[in-house]
Structure 1
Amino acid sequence: MSRRRLIQAGMVLPPAVMATQAAQASAGPERLREATRPLAALTFLDAEGRERTVADFAGQGLVLNLWATWCPPCVAEMPSLERLAAALAAEKVAVLPLSSDRGGQAVVETFYRRVGLTGLGVWMDPRGAAARALGARGLPTTVIVDRSGQERARLEGDAAWDRPDMIAAVRRLVGPFPASERTDRI
């Protein structure tokens, strides 16, 4: 069985994943390439196979993560993306991990179960259309989108998304959460 198949089957934790996890500890907001520009039109699929667009998330901040289950750096950063999603959910910031796995929903759900991810939705880009529209040069690539739908920053490679300084950077880049929508007011 090939190394890639072993990794996909969850039978091996490759040394590259362990090295990536160690390197993530220092991967912070200094690696974000900030630039405000219109977001390319892109479509992707939800867990039910329905076509979705960024317009479906109007008014929310977005963290679009392009990844695959066979990509060791992608696998390494998924738990930190889940913690980022939990930290920012109440502020209407959605983390959308767009899987490029050709096996679709079944492959992603199997991976989530195997590694214990329960707080991320299943989002798919099996033909790479969103990755092409965004001009991604590789996986993982993460694009931060502000509440008005503008791309504000991107990061190529994995990162420790749950670091306090990364969470603060995402908050700053997506823009303030409207006071009119806060539920913690007295």
Structure 2
Amino acid sequence: MPEKKTVSRARADKRAGKAPTTQAGEFVKEAIDHVRSGKHGVKSAKQAVAIGLSKARRSGVDLKAPKKGAVSESTRKKAEKDREAGQHTSTARKSASTETKAKRSRTTRSVLEREGGQGASGGALSKQAKSAAAKRPAASRSAAAKQASHTMSASTRSNAAKKAAATKGAQGRSAAAKKAAHTRAARAHH
């Protein structure tokens, strides 16, 4: 069950006209926060993302199921069922009893509690983000990077540059300055 503040943030994103994936991001963040705070664990970063996306679909975020071939058929069907549950387009099928739902919920939670928290570590999430980005075409990645830099304020860009310079070290800054000068000189000749 997602927290009220997560649902309200997702609804605010929807009112602002943001994409369903952005709205779902609120639920993914919540799932990662739960793992980090020790509420439960996950096998991998991919599982943490999947938990968040499932919660998002069941909460009414209009997030489509993955395309055929992109994931296993069982995963696709689960995503479609979650979406239907969130859109309240219930079929004539009978729902499970409250007792069955409670037992399922308990079992799921106990399984997740036995998992570790490494799936939500910075390294695991970074690896997951890179592997997901690698599957996207270069044009899509480039467009996303441009969009991110446009939405960033000048002060945020400045702070990011300061942080980058601080982590580089003296030799790194010197090398970067030489490379920049070399690039400017090369471009001046064209």
Q: TM-score range by the shorter chain?
A: under 0.3
Larger RCO: 1 or 2 (CA < 8 Å, sep 6+): 1
Larger gyration radius, structure 1 or structure 2: 2
**Higher share in helix:** 2
